[in-house]
Amino acid sequence: MANWGFLGAGSIAASSLAPAVHAAPGARLHAVAARDGARAAALAPHRTYTAYPDLLADPEVDIVYVALHNSAHRAWVEAALAAGKHVLCEKPLGLTEAETASMERAARRADRTLVEAAWNRWHPRTRDAEAALAGAATGRPLHVTAHFHGLAPAPDNYRRDPALGGGALYDLGYYALSAVLAAFSWRTPQVTHARWESWDPASADRSVAADLTFPCGGTAEVRCSLDGTLAEEFAVHGTEGSLRLSAPAFTAGAASCTLAVTSEHVRRTADVREYAPTDPYRLMVTDVDRALSGGTGYLVPTAQSRLIARLIDAVRAAASDGSGGAGRAPSAGVGGELDPGMPG
């Protein structure tokens, strides 16, 4: 049995991760650290702390889940790794590629595993969609549409604060960009156009639009916002067919959903797969727990986390280059791409 320790007891930890750990076979919520002891106790751990270093010093904690605001990820991930703990950290892992790479190096030094908690990547539909795209089910991708529009955060919510790593790009754009990269076999694109709008001059980005071009000539349109419009769309159009996820495209779980792959060969045929309601958080915790306890389980590769961070860097640079919110950002691959042998 692996003992989990949480740094932070906010909404995601309370609503999703703590129930997942309690429900996952072989996992145990050993400790939670939060400035508010009552909030920590509400997650029903075996032990509570009011100081994060005290949890990291607990020799019974095997895996630390970092549930803090985005700008605190690097410091506490690296502290947990240095304390000899495996780490599951909320997405985005780092605010920049440099931060993400620094955490990767810290994990190697500590000989511990670091995993980004991109929970939707554990949903069976996401896994199947990524496998279908990797297998060229739609042929060479020509154009991808990825839109994610969500609820507007309260005025005092950290998502409005750039100093805390807030904004639509880090929050919702992460999902859209990771899906686009998967569609193009994790190749590095060029940002051909980007713009964003903020709630006010001092706030983080309220909405972001980015257009991408990939080495194969394919393009992608990414749109995300925290403006109260609830809409999620993901579709891939390729030389041999198309792939589409039913709404919600990125946050499926509570309700049933579908994956449709349409072939354009001779006679137009569609393969529609249906998925029952499931809890991706529980699947994530179960896989991470198994993998870090010596078994087998799916883990999001940190190389992919780093590439997502690089693309976020490029979108931010293009949207802030002083030319009215549109521009180009240089792109350099993670070795050009993650797997030169894959189509893209």
Tell me the domains of the chain and their CATH numbers: 2-117 (3.40.50.720), 121-319 (3.30.360.10)
pLDDT at 326 over 70: no
- Residues with a known catalytic role: 91
pLDDT band at 323 (very low <50, low <70, confident <90, very high): very low
Give the pLDDT of residue 341: 27
Q: What is the mean pLDDT of residues 291-308?
A: 93
| pLDDT value at 278 more than 90 | yes
145-170, pLDDT tens digit by residue?
999 999 999 999 999 999 999 999 99
Tell me which residue of 325, 227, 277, 289 sits closest to 64, measured CA to CA. 289
Helices then strands (H, E): number in the chain?
A: 11, 14
**Which residues are CB-neighbours of 318 under 8 A, at least 6 positions away?**
191, 193, 194, 210, 326, 327, 328, 329
The reported pLDDT for the residue numbered 321 is: 76
Q: What is the pLDDT of residue 320?
A: 85
State mean pLDDT over 182-199: 96
At 324 the pLDDT is 34
Does residue 275 surpass a pLDDT of 80? yes
Pairing of strands 27-33, 2-7: parallel
Give tens-digit pLDDT for 57-82.
Answer: 999 999 999 999 999 999 999 999 99
- pLDDT of residue 284 exceeding 70: yes
- Give me the amino acid identity at 337: E
* Arithmetic mean of pLDDT, 182-192: 96
Residue type, 174: Y
Peptide bond into 92 cis (omega under 30): yes
| pLDDT score recorded for residue 130 | 97
Confidence of residue 254 (pLDDT cuts 50, 70, 90): very high
Q: Which residues contact 135 (CB under 8 A, 6 or more apart)?
A: none
pLDDT tens string 85-124: 999 999 999 999 999 999 999 999 999 999 999 999 999 9
Mean per-residue pLDDT, 201-223: 97
Whether 306 shows a pLDDT value over 50: the answer reads yes
Average pLDDT, the chain: 91
* Whether the predicted pLDDT of 334 surpasses 50: no
Neighbours of 183 (CB within 10 A): 29
The total number of residues shown for the chain amounts to 344
pLDDT of residue 265: 67
- 10-19, 42-51, 194-203, 268-277: least confident range: 268-277
